[in-house]
Amino acid sequence: MGDAAHVHSPAGGQGMNTGIVDAVVLGRMLAEVVTGNRPDAWLDRYGELRRPAAAEVIALASRLTAMATTRGAARQTLRNAMLSLVGALPPARHRVEMSLSGLARRDATRLAA
């Protein structure tokens, strides 16, 4: 599992973090089934639980790729100004940091418990 299971661009380094959360969620779900606390059908929820995170990662990677490959002096200047502004505003910087690290989706591990 892990990085090999993801189709998104490596932009932003999301693969490893997403893979770790995927493994934690699956491990918790498997433990629930193996210990008899949940029926086998419980595992059918795995895709339902993890698909939203995958969609977020794909969207973020696409935005990062588009920003990194921006062409034209005016667009690059606008991009650089926007990134400077985000870096200067603590709430905006925090939101970007949480998204890039994957911590914005950390509640996913609790859903499987």
Provide the CB-side half-sphere exposure for 48 (13 A, CA). 8
Provide the CB-side half-sphere exposure for 25 (13 A, CA). 27
**23-55 tens-digit pLDDT:** 888 999 999 999 999 999 999 999 888 888 888
Measured between alpha carbons, how far is residue 107 from residues 24, 31, 41, 67, 77 in Å?
Answer: 12, 18, 22, 28, 36
Name the band, by pLDDT with cuts 50, 70 and 90, for residue 63: confident
Q: Which domains does the chain have, with CATH numbers?
A: 2-111 (3.50.50.60)
Name the band, by pLDDT with cuts 50, 70 and 90, for residue 113: low
Q: Give the integer Cα–Cα distance in Å for 108 and 90.
A: 25
The fraction of the chain above a pLDDT of 70, given in percent, is 81
- Tell me the three-class secondary structure of 36-59, residue by residue: CCCCHHHHHHHHHHHHHHHHHHHH
Name the band, by pLDDT with cuts 50, 70 and 90, for residue 98: confident
What pLDDT score does 33 carry?
96
What pLDDT score does 1 carry?
52
| 71: pLDDT strictly greater than 90 | yes
